[in-house]
A and B are shown apart, each in its own frame.
Chain A
Amino acid sequence: KAGVTQTPRYLIKTRGQQVTLSCSPISGHRSVSWYQQTPGQGLQFLFEYFSETQRNKGNFPGRFSGRQFSNSRSEMNVSTLELGDSALYLCASSLAVPKGGYTFGSGTRLTVV
């Protein structure tokens, strides 16, 4: 059974640009969450989608957005990139209610220069 797939693995962008990251969940998983991991702030929750609807949102500015498609694949978008957006972005999927825990992808390493 394929795991959670995130693309691309690495990305370098210039300040002010926008970026889109992709996440394909485990087959059958309808919940997809996104987390930002930085050395300074640790792991922080961005948002969670279920059946194409955002159920929960973390405390991030509106430059961070996401969406989920009917096949449960998800994308997150960051507009007007800032240097501080450099981070590892992790996607996680689960069944409708994640009591069994989330399964994570290997992340996208975003570097903003």
Chain B
Amino acid sequence: AQTVTQSQPEMSVQEAETVTLSCTYDTSESDYYLFWYKQPPSRQMILVIRQEAYKQQNATENRFSVNFQKAAKSFSLKISDSQLGDAAMYFCAFLSNFGNEKLTFGTGTRLTIIP
């Protein structure tokens, strides 16, 4: 079974600064997908970024980028030029590519943006 660990329950960052959220995972599989989801107070989980394990290049979506270290089983999220709208809970999630269509989530990191 896979596990996902987010060791930072809370983080804060000044507006316009950069922040990195950490995520580690444990799996014996070699083919999988990793995601970062954002959950604002509206409750809807919003997909921020995805990474395919067999792609070495780190994914980037505008101000969001990841640092994917497959050997270390690490998948951190970097948010550049933080904005007030980035304030939310952020969840790291794992998805196997072997027919088990189930997301395994970490416990989340609450990100606060300081104006």
Contact = CB atoms under 8 A, between A and B. Distances in A.
Interface of A: 31, 33, 35, 42-43, 45, 48, 50, 55-56, 58, 88, 90, 92, 94, 97-107, 109
Contacts of B101: 31, 33, 48, 50, 55-56, 94, 97-98
- Specify the main secondary structure of chain A where it touches its partner: strand
Contact of B102 (A50, A56, A90, A106): A56
B25 interface: no
Q: Which 3 A-B pairs have the closest CB atoms?
A: A104-B45, A43-B105, A106-B44
Nearest to A47: B102
A51 to B, nearest CB: 13
Contacts of B91: 43
Nearest to A100: B50
Given A99-B33, A102-B103, A90 B95 contact: no
A77 B7 CA distance: 34
Contacts of A98: 95, 101
B105 A106 contact: no
Nearest to B95: A98
B43 A88 contact: yes
Interface string B32-44: 0101010000111
Given A43-B91, A56-B100, A106-B42, A101 B105 contact: no
A55 B104 CA distance: 16
B9 to A, nearest CB: 12
B18 interface: no
A6 to B, nearest CB: 9
Nearest to B97: A99
